[in-house]
Chains A and B, each alone.
Chain A
Amino acid sequence: MNKKPHFPGNCPASLLDFDTITLGHGGGGKLTQQLLNSGVFTLLDNEWLQEQGDAAVINVKEKMAFSTDSFVVSPIIFPGGTIGDLAVNGTVNDLAVSGALPEFLSLSFILEEGLNMEHFWAILLSIREACATAGVHVITGDTKVVERGKGDQIFINTTGLGRVHQKADLGMQRICAGDAVILSGPLARHGIAIMSKREGLEFETKLESDTRPLHEICQKLIGTLGSSIRLMRDPTRGGVATVLHEIARQTKLGVDLFEKNLPIEDEVGGACEMLGLDPLFVANEGLFVAVVESDQAGHCLQIIQEWEHGKNAAIIGAITEEHARNVVLNSTIGGRRVLPQTSGELLPRIC
Chain B
Amino acid sequence: MKYLSEYRDANLVDALLRKIKRTVTRQWNIMEVCGGQTHGLVRHGILEMLPEKVQMIHGPGCPVCVTPVSLIDKAVELCLHQDVILCSYGDMLRVPGTEMSLQQARAKGGDVKILYSPLEAVEIARKNPRREVVFFAVGFETTAPANALSVVRAKQLQLSNYSILSAHVLVPPAMEAIMNDEETQVSGFLAAGHVCTVMGLREYEPLVEKWKVPVVVTGFEPVDLLEGILMVVTQLEKGEYRLENQYKRVVNSDGNRSAVGLIGQVFEYRERDWRGIGEIPSSGLFVKDEFRDFDAMAKYQLTVRPDQTDTECLSGDVMKGKIKPPECPHFGETCTPEHPLGAPMVSSEGACAAYYQYSMKS
Contact = CB atoms under 8 A, between A and B. Distances in A.
A260 B8 CA distance: 10
A332 B44 CA distance: 8
Contact of A333 (B9, B349, B359): B9
B36 A351 contact: yes
Given A337-B42, A337-B358, A348 B114 contact: yes
B44 A350 contact: no
Interface in B1-54: 1, 4, 8-10, 13-14, 36, 42-46, 48-49
Nearest to A275: B116
Nearest to B45: A335
Contact of B10 (A200, A332, A337, A345): A332
A114 interface: no
B64 A200 contact: no
Contact of A350 (B94, B143, B362): B143
A351 B48 contact: no
A269 interface: yes
Nearest to B120: A200
Nearest to A274: B116
B167 to A, nearest CB: 12
Interface in A316-351: 323, 328, 331-338, 340, 343-345, 347-351
B91 interface: yes
A347 B348 contact: yes
A323 B362 CA distance: 12
Contact of B44 (A276, A335, A343, A347): A335
Nearest to B195: A351
A347 B90 contact: yes
A335 B120 CA distance: 39
Measured as residues with beta carbon below 8 angstroms from the partner, the interface class of chain A is 20 to 34
A9 to B, nearest CB: 35
A337 B1 contact: no
A337 B361 CA distance: 9
Interface string A94-106: 0000000000000
A201 interface: yes
Given A335-B44, A351-B139, A269 B4 contact: yes
Interface in A116-160: none
Given A335-B49, A350-B63, A350-B349, A201 B1 contact: no
B90 A334 contact: no
B326 interface: no
A201 B358 contact: no
A335 B349 contact: no
Contacts of A204: none
Contacts of B337: 343
B116 A200 contact: yes
Contacts of A348: 89-90, 114, 116
A273 interface: yes
Contacts of A350: 63-64, 89-91, 138-139, 143, 348-349
Interface in B131-181: 138-140, 142-143
A317 B10 CA distance: 19
A266 B49 CA distance: 28
A270 interface: yes
Given A269-B1, A335-B49, A347 B8 contact: no
Contact of B93 (A200, A323, A328, A347): A347
B357 interface: yes
A269 B64 CA distance: 26
A200 B45 contact: no
Contacts of B140: 351
Given A335-B46, A337-B45, 5 more contacts: A276-B348, A333-B45, A338-B359, A347-B114, A350-B63
Interface of B: 1, 4, 8-10, 13-14, 36, 42-46, 48-49, 63-64, 89-91, 93-94, 103, 113-117, 120, 123, 138-140, 142-143, 194, 222, 337-338, 348-349, 356-360, 362
Interface of A: 200-201, 260, 266, 269-270, 273, 275-276, 323, 328, 331-338, 340, 343-345, 347-351
The 8 closest A-B pairs by CB, nearest first: A335-B45, A340-B357, A347-B90, A333-B13, A348-B90, A337-B358, A350-B89, A343-B337
